[in-house]
Amino acid sequence: MPLIVKLMYVFAIGAIGGWCLELVYRSIRAKRLFNPGFLTGPSLPIYGFGNVILYFVTKIDLSFCGAKWVQVTAMFLLIAIAMTLLELVTGYLFYHFMQLRLWDYTKRWGNYKGFICPLFTVFWGALGIAFYLFAQPLLTWFLENAEGSVFWIVMISIYYTLLCVDIFYSFKLGIKIKNFFIKVSDTVAVNLQEIKEKFYRNEKKEHRFVFFTILFRINSDIKKKIKEAALKREKKNDDGVDGKLKIEESGSEEVS
């Protein structure tokens, strides 16, 4: 199998698997189903890129380190550093070029500008070691068996088609959210995760919580709410009132 095709599979497995992991983690914390990440569908590209990095890092021969525990420790450090750098670069790019904050570690000890923190560096290292010891053999087996399979070729083609559509749609939405909130408030950058959390709380309070469809409905709801808030603000301005955005705890925006 050509390397580029292997990496396409590795990326897809990481992106979908990472989404499932984040879904469980964030849903437990929020005590409700919570669709994680920037995209609408079940995919987290940062985990996809992380899986690609893991694929290469875990192929490094560390036999020169001697004892097995030393090799595992060295691999842990390599993975933790690589994943933390990926998180830092991704967070920095979204923050400085799109004024969007996809996650926020500012309340975590030892964080750097909210992009990275020691706790999650250790978490990424531990997750990477689990991949190194248990998942890598399964991934190798899958790649060997997927080669030439019409079924998997069709599935991976569908995945990347939907992913491209989702990225285009989500970036358009992200830009609209950024422009709106920066225009009507003193915000330097928009915390997209915080906005989504507020909308989820609103869904729960208004008894519109649907077990599964809400996971993929949230972005369209945000877009609708922003349009409503923008119209209210324009009406207030037309009436000669200086409008300013308030994000209520319920998740709705009002202009006063």
Q: pLDDT 10s per residue in the chain (256 long)?
A: 889 999 999 999 999 999 999 888 888 877 777 777 778 888 999 999 999 999 999 889 888 888 889 999 999 999 999 999 999 999 999 888 877 788 889 899 999 999 999 999 999 999 999 988 888 889 989 999 998 889 999 999 999 999 999 888 888 877 777 777 666 665 555 666 666 666 666 655 554 444 444 455 555 555 565 556 556 655 665 555 444 444 443 333 433 3
Q: How far is residue 118 from each of residues 16, 91, 115, measured CA to CA in Å?
A: 25, 15, 11
Alpha-carbon span 190 to 248, nearest angstrom: 15
- Contacts from 166-174 at CB under 8 Å and sequence distance 24+? 166/39, 166/40, 166/41, 166/43, 167/39, 167/45, 169/40, 169/219, 170/38, 170/39, 170/40, 170/219, 173/219, 173/222, 173/223, 174/38, 174/98, 174/100
User: Which run of H or E residues covers position 84?
Assistant: helix 68-98
Which among 14, 25, 43 has a CA at the least distance from the CA of 123?
A: 25
Residue pair 174/182 in contact by the 8 Å Cβ criterion? no
Q: How far is residue 174 from each of residues 76, 234, 246, measured CA to CA in Å?
A: 34, 21, 19
User: Could you tell me the two tokens for 13?
Assistant: 């497995």
Domain spans, the chain: 3-255
Angle of CA points 207, 17, 159, to nearest 5°? 90
Cα four-point dihedral sign 92, 128, 162, 35: negative
Alpha-carbon span 135 to 88, nearest angstrom: 25
DSSP 8-state code for residue 100:
E
- In this structure, the number of other CB atoms found within 10 A of the CB of residue 49 comes to 19
- In this structure, the number of other CB atoms found within 10 A of the CB of residue 183 comes to 11
